[in-house]
Amino acid sequence: MALFEQLESGLAFVVTLLKFLLESIAVFCVLLGVLKTGQIAIFLNRHHSQNRLLQIRLNFGIWLVLALEFQLGADILSTTLTSTFESLGKLGIVALIRTFLNYFLTQELDKRKEK
């Protein structure tokens, strides 16, 4: 029984570490997206490019989609540690909202790229 408890404790540590890593990557994606999008905005402003706003939105949208993917992965890992139906329900709702956001954002990006 002690071995099982140690394995369970070790798994909880690994899951917590991976969850933190995925959430950190998501934050880094948003930060990098803001910086890259700002860089593109400055470049497009100097060159008086057509569809500046569209290009800026597309660039930032791609970074947001990537960040949402990492956040969803962190949410999935969180479910392995939760033990109550209430916490599982909350995580399920958050994961569902993020999945829908990601889906519709990806759809919009794909439509804009085709134009």
**Total number of domains constituting the chain:** 1
More confident residue, 92 or 9: 9
Domain that holds residue 87: 2-114
Q: CA gyration radius for the chain?
A: 19
Q: Is 104 exposed, middle or buried (0-12, 13-18, 19+ CB in 10 A)?
A: exposed
The rounded distance, in Å, linking the Cα atoms of 18 and 16 is 6
Between 18 and 109, the more confident residue is 18
pLDDT score, position 115: 64
% of the chain with per-residue pLDDT over 70? 96
* pTM across the whole model: 0.78
Taking each helix axis as running N to C, give the angle between helix 52-79 and helix 2-46, from 0 to 180 degrees, rounded to the nearest 10.
180
63-99 pLDDT, tens digit per residue, is 998 998 898 888 888 877 776 787 778 777 877 887 8
